[in-house]
Structure 1
């Protein structure tokens, strides 16, 4: 397991060690002791989630507020996505900044997204299966989001906004300016 720093404070890209031979491969996708030693993060993951989506789907930018905020460790089991994290922590040196990385079934990278971030992804292949661990349980009353195509954030999703497939909730999500006005 190798830790790669991103421009966002406390948000890390993790490169897994893959052991392969004629039978296929093996990798340890998570080891709390190794992860904690590399990152200093002492949290515990309590919930695993998985989604399957087709090309052009954009999910996000999602986050949970207050005591229900979640840290996530995300990876792709099948296909390819552009994964995006936005730092929402007003006291952070990377506040308001975003980071994106392609995650796919062959590079076996994972992205650690700490609490206080918005997160989303776009599907770049015919199908993608996305998997993530959370350190807090989902709470519907605390969920929120920022519109993924907000012009202020200017995230390049590698999907044409005119043909992107968004949920009704994401289509109606607040703008970055509306989010700032709520603070």
Structure 2
């Protein structure tokens, strides 16, 4: 289930964060491609003694029962970007439609078979993906981590920030 917590190599991410946090001067991290929707075999980014590391992801605030450590254990500060679910779904459908003319055209794209859909077919497909995958993932796995963040930023339908809530320092 792509995008769900179980699809992430949490152990590898923890290893990278552990090495950075413990002061290892040169750390290699795998490269993720939004085109192929997966880790790119053999490709790495080199991180050299960073002052700041920004980790972005849907599931980085997850806590799995019984796990000895969590990705967020290595965070000094975390931000959760929040919005009302109907707005997020609308943005997803709009983005899906826009991507048909760009990344979906790439023959290596995980989503290449959506490139030639009509507008109506694309809207129906995007709504189905939202309902069966993204919306489900949001409600079951992402939204419940909101209160684990240091700061929650809420956005309105037009992407303006209307609320900022500091939960912890």
TM-score interval w.r.t. the shorter chain? under 0.3
Give 1 or 2 for the bigger CA radius of gyration. 2
Where is the helix percentage greater, Structure 1 or Structure 2?
Answer: 2
Where is the strand percentage greater, Structure 1 or Structure 2?
Answer: 1
What's the TM-score, normalizing by structure 2?
A: 0.24
What's the TM-score, normalizing by structure 1?
A: 0.23
